[in-house]
Structure 1
Amino acid sequence: MSGLRARRLSRPTSLRGSNGVAFGPDGRLYVAQFLAGEISAVDLATGDVETVVPAGGPVQAPDDLAFGADGSMYVTDLVPGRVWRRHPDTTVTLVTDQVRLPNGIACVGDRLFVNEMIPGGRLLELGGAEPVVLTGGLAMGNAMQLGPDGALYYPHMLTGEVFRIPVDGGTPQLVAAGVHEPVAVRFDRGGVLQVLSRGVAGIVTRIDLFGTGDRTLLTSGLAGLDNAAFDAGNRMFVSSYAGGGITELHPDGRTREIVPRGFAGPYGVTIDLGGTVLAADHYRVAEPRQPGNDVTTTELLTFAHGIAADGDLLHVTSQFGQVRTYDRKTRAVRTRAEGLAEPLGIAVREDGALVVAEAGAGRVLAIDAEDTVGVLGTGFGRPVDVAVDDEGRWYVSDEERGAVYRLDGGTPAVLAEDLGAPQGIAVGGGHLYVTETANGRVVTVDLATGEVEEVAGLPASAGPVRDRPALQAHGLPGVPRLFAGLAVAADRSLYAVAGGSVLHLSPAEEPS
């Protein structure tokens, strides 16, 4: 079989999801990246990005950060429930592990405050032998800041409210209600409160608390806003947990990319009946678009990893145990199964049932129209993806055993082995296509002979591959494991996930 030429449909971003942001003593904008497990510094003049806290160290899931008076950087490590201090000499020490899902963080002189992103969370002052509780009952806290009046301002994400409390404690005061999906509160240089929304429209609610009291809305179109910082000239720079990157947001709604946005993963990929390519990207379903190498958020659909299009329906798996169906017309989400062990690849059977690779349990499942879960096959090591051929025969990739199986009456039969961590699979034209993640390539397996042939090389992964996803830390999901999805189009070209983007693989002799 002739080789395939790979063409990126989207540019990779150097900030795979961007969360907390703060200006450092050197004038650069520091960015916490929860999904990437690292912290970077951005030169706003050039857009250059430097990793200053790499993945694989003690800081595992940085979500927000703030700088103290001496230049130390304080970081909330969301999933493990820790707060760290990175000293000016770059050494890192633990401040506390006595918090649950710490998120929002603020420095007030030499004092350090954090809040917890859980229902019934606390707002704490750290630094002593034990955390000091200023208040409890937060309906999921997040990014907070000291206001011009000397009080700490913070959101209640679940209730759409903003509160403030004196730094020495007291009774919290409601500042604003009915705020659109608040995720962060920030004050500009003029003392106007800016409340960022985590929704798809990128709304910023501006409240002139200390002047007219007026409330205005700005719709930026930046899906999944997470945090913001203002420079000395009162320019506003925002991050996105969904699309990553750093963007300057002007008061009139115009935007300017400083660090390009892109995929956080991506993970699974599918093609709908209209030929639209859709990728599951952890916090959303997104579409890679050309020209421009852009990534457009189709829907904010939390914890989407495997994906299969089915008419107006999108079926998605979450490594945190769920299988859901999303109706693109009604926007309704239906949970089909939960409590599974790391479900990944998903496909639709001819009768409408969903077939799912349950990686953590070594099984392949079928979920029927009544959401009854049955077992199609067992005895796998770590099944990652599933695919079906024109004759209704099912195939399963097993990255742990380096093999691809065909299910013959529920019994796995080896079709190909000695593969390098096979993940995404797809069937077309008498061949099974397989993404070998350990070898960085796509191969075909002849369904008649089992012969394996390389057809395309792939760029390296955009991030570290974790042994297992961090599941249900403190009752909330953690960081998922990367998954390299694969899909075949009607013209037999392929769409593969690799290198932080979606690639189109077409015959080398065809024009791009």
Structure 2
Amino acid sequence: MSLNEIVSELAPGNITTVAGAGYSTGVPAKEADAGWPVGVVRRPDGEIIVADYHGNRLWRIDKDGILHNFAGDGVPGTSGDGGPASEARFFLPHDLSQDRKGNLYLSDLGNQTYRRIDFETGIVTRVAGTGKVGRGGDGGLAVDSELDTNCGIAVDDDGNIFLSSEWANNVKRVDAKTGIIETFAGQDARHHPSEVGDSKPYFGPKLSLGGYHGDGGPASEAGFNHPEHLAFDSKGDLYICDNSNHRIRKIDMKTGIINTVLGNGQAASNGDGGPATEASTLMPDSICLDVHDNLYVGEKYGYRVRKVEAKTGIVTTLAGNGVPGYGEEGLHGSETHVNSCEVGIYADPDGTVFWGDCSGRLRRYDGETGIVTTVLGGTSIHDGEDATKGFLNGPGGMSLGPDGHVYIADVWGQRIRAIDPESGLIRTVAGNGARAHGGDNGPAPEAYLGNPYDVSVDVEGRVVIADTRHGHVRRVDSDGIIRNLAGSGEQWDKGDGGPAIGAHLIQVMAVSHSPDGSVYIGDSAAGRIRRVDAQTGIIDTIAGTGTPGYTGDGGPATAARVGGPFDICFDVDG
């Protein structure tokens, strides 16, 4: 049945799925779709638990490779403490850790809490955070403490819980016996913007910008810039992903002294075959240590999974060639592509490594052969198949083309998809599945996109895309070539009165065409709606002041504050 036939037969008030297969359980995990696998651990019984950031749940992969729901029902929420985790709700579950007994701890990022799932009973409880964003709380109960962008979590052999806050630039400790929370490392500093640039030593006053300083001294006086994920080695020393300082740092838990073990602070990914402290690592985002204390690191923008040998301190790359992409199945690690490796990584004793890839897959590096395969998340995007069998990883904006095709922004799939109205088949219009920027002036399906939140198609069939993460608006012309329409790539708020391609945009969440063909852009971070003139290519603000808010009704639109425009549409009068 065609899409037109489906739509024409819809009864009023009924909901019918026309695209997207959704999630499945009881099937081989490698054939199932997932939102964004992030945290990953192997339980004492051999099963694998995976936190699905966008799926708002935790998956369980049994020893036969079959996928089961472990915790959460997929609906964002914070309910269920004191009851079975399978009946609880989570909101953007992030990092995972487990103690020696197999009890599972997780960062429930969207709820600003940390929670624990008992290995024996499956009961979930809150161990830190109130659900409100805030700072402070030292000296009080962790469950009464307000947290700010909770990120990593690790548990030592005594059951003490360590938590990292990427915005507060510190690591906190929750005492296993008393439940009291204290700042353990770093200073309660204002966030230093995450930039792809060399780390810069900072020696200013306390309670100021995060930065890099403190190696060789007490961890309590060190400076961090986006401390992400945490892990312990067999000696009980704590490792920290100091993300925007491009370093992995270690705290000697006997002396309290902190030092760098990987990275020289340069924003690059190189140095394989040499000492890890002389190599570069580009925004390391996930870490783990195996039973031999070998260190494994996932790089956010280095697009690699790397290993530091415990005995030699030498760093090598296990998977990834530095170019982001939707890695094919069965390739050697040195030949495959790795997308941003964020949050989750786990290593078995034999050197087999699992990591969450932002293409929506959990991938596996075989410790013996070096071959990379998919464990969870499917191996196909289902192009050319029935749209109801395809998987959409966070569908955002939609648009109807002049030929009747339905265009969908697949936000976390990093693609723009289209459904044929007659056949009901789905295809990719733009995006190769890797979250990055590039590919302008080439075939659109081979280009990179960064969380495209919206799409609009004009009367001539040209497809305009909100390249949200990178502050661009891009257009796919009738020849299938993708080109930049607006945005210089520098994410700022200026450029009115000049060419749109030279203007600065921050976070484009909405795009739309007016009847005259001009493109309207909703920049949610800037609090503006801007217009690119169809004839001249000049960009101007038509609503908003540059400060998000809600003011100005009854006055000029350019003098009003707009609170994060997420959608734009026109009525029949334009």
* Range of TM-score over shorter length: 0.5 to 0.7
Q: Greater RCO between the two (CA within 8 Å, min separation 6)?
A: 1
Task: Give the 3 Å change call, closer, same or farther, for CA 112–381 of structure 1 in structure 2.
Answer: closer
Q: Tell whether 2:160 aligns with 1:72.
A: yes
User: Which structure features the higher share of strand residues?
Assistant: 1
Q: 2:292 aligns with which of 149, 154, 162?
A: 149
RMSD: 4.9
**Would the alpha carbon gap of residues 362 and 420 (structure 1) be closer, same or farther in structure 2, given more than 3 Å must change?**
closer
1:57, CA displacement in angstroms? 4.0
Q: Does residue 1:139 correspond to 2:256, yes or no? A: no
Identify the residue that residue 194 of structure 1 maps to in structure 2.
353
1:235-279 Cα distance to aligned partner (Å, 9 max, x none):
xxxxxxxxxxxxxxxxxxxxxxxxxx9987x8x532343564745
Partner of 1:270: 398
Q: Mark the CA change 1:376 to 1:201 in structure 2 (over 3 Å): closer, same or farther.
A: closer
Match of 2:374 in 1: 219
Residue 20 of structure 1 aligns to a residue in which SS?
Answer: strand
Q: The residue matched to 1:100 in structure 2 has which SS? A: coil
Deviation string, structure 1 residues 39-72 (Cα, Å, up to 9, x no partner): 3445689987655433424432233322111212
Aligned to 1:401: 551
Show structure 2 runs of 5+ residues with no match: 1-11, 23-73, 77-88, 136-146, 187-222, 264-279, 320-333, 380-390, 420-426, 436-448, 494-505
The 5-angstrom pairing of residues 40-439 of structure 1 reads 40-42=115-117, 52=127, 53=129, 54-58=131-135, 59-88=147-176, 89-97=178-186, 98-108=223-233, 109-118=235-244, 121-126=246-251, 127=253, 131-136=258-263, 137-165=280-308, 170-175=313-318, 177-181=334-338, 183=341, 184-188=344-348, 191-196=350-355, 198-200=357-359, 202=361, 204-208=363-367, 213-220=368-375, 222=377, 269-273=397-401, 274=404, 276=406, 278=408, 281=411, 284=414, 301-309=449-457, 311=461, 313-316=463-466, 318=468, 322-325=471-474, 327=476, 334=484, 336-337=486-487, 338=489, 339-341=491-493, 342=506, 343-359=508-524, 361=526, 363-368=528-533, 372-378=537-543, 380=545, 400-401=550-551, 403=553, 411-412=556-557, 424=567, 426-427=569-570
Q: Distance in 2 between matches of 1:371 and 1:103?
A: 45
Give the SS at the match of 1:99.
coil
Q: State the Cα distance separating 1:111 from its structure 2 match.
A: 1.2
* SS, match of residue 148 in structure 1: coil
Distance (whole Å) between structure 1 residues aligned to residue 546 and residue 91 of structure 2: 30
The residue type equivalent to 2:529 in the other structure is: V
Contact 2:392 2:410 in 1 (8 A): no
Q: Work out the CA distance in 2 between the residues paired with 1:275 and 1:218.
A: 34
Write the letter of the residue equivalent to 1:113: Y
Paired amino acid for 1:181: V
Q: 1:369 to 1:377 in 2, by over 3 A?
A: closer
Structure with the largest fraction of helix:
2
- How many residue pairs get aligned? The number is 354
Alpha-carbon contact 2:523-2:565 (below 8 Å) kept: no
Q: Deviations over 1:191-242 (max 9, x none)?
A: 342242514262523222xxxx213332246289xxxxxxxxxxxxxxxxxx
CA distance in 2, matches of 1:312, 1:262: 22
| CA 1:423–1:170: 2 relative to 1, 3 Å | closer
Q: d(CA) in 1 for partners of 2:90 and 2:514? A: 37
1:5-32 Cα offsets, whole Å, 9 max, x none, are: 6969786344443332122467443332
| Counterpart residue number, 1:39 | 114
2:266 paired residue number: none
Contact 1:323 1:336 in 2 (8 A): yes
Partner of 1:12: 75
User: Hey, what's the Cα distance between the residues in 2 that align with 1:198 and 1:144?
Assistant: 14
Task: Determine if contact 1:400/1:421 at 8 Å carries over to the other structure.
Answer: no
**Could you tell me whether the CA contact under 8 Å between 2:398 and 2:455 is conserved in 1?**
yes
* 2:511 alignment partner AA: I
Q: Decide whether aligned partners of structure 1 residues 427 and 315 sit closer, same or farther in structure 2, where only a CA change above 3 A counts.
A: same
**Which residue identity is paired with 1:65?**
I
Q: Hey, what's the Cα distance between the residues in 2 that align with 1:363 and 1:149?
A: 53
The separation in 1 between residues aligned to 2:250 and 2:483, in whole angstroms, is 39
**Cα deviation code 1:78-102 (max 9, x no counterpart):** 3443222233344332222322222
Cα distance 1:91–1:220, how it changes in 2: closer, same or farther (>3 A)?
same
Matched to 2:75, the amino acid is P
Within 1, Cα distance between the matches of 2:414 and 2:513? 21
Q: Distance in 2 between matches of 1:360 and 1:420?
A: 9
Instruction: Give, in whole Å, the separation in 2 of the partners of 1:46 and 1:307.
Output: 46
Aligned identity (percent) is 14
Alpha-carbon contact 2:528-2:564 (below 8 Å) kept: no
Aligned partners of 2:533, 2:546: CA distance in 1, in Å? 24
SS at match of 1:66: strand
Q: Give 1:355 shift.
A: 1.0
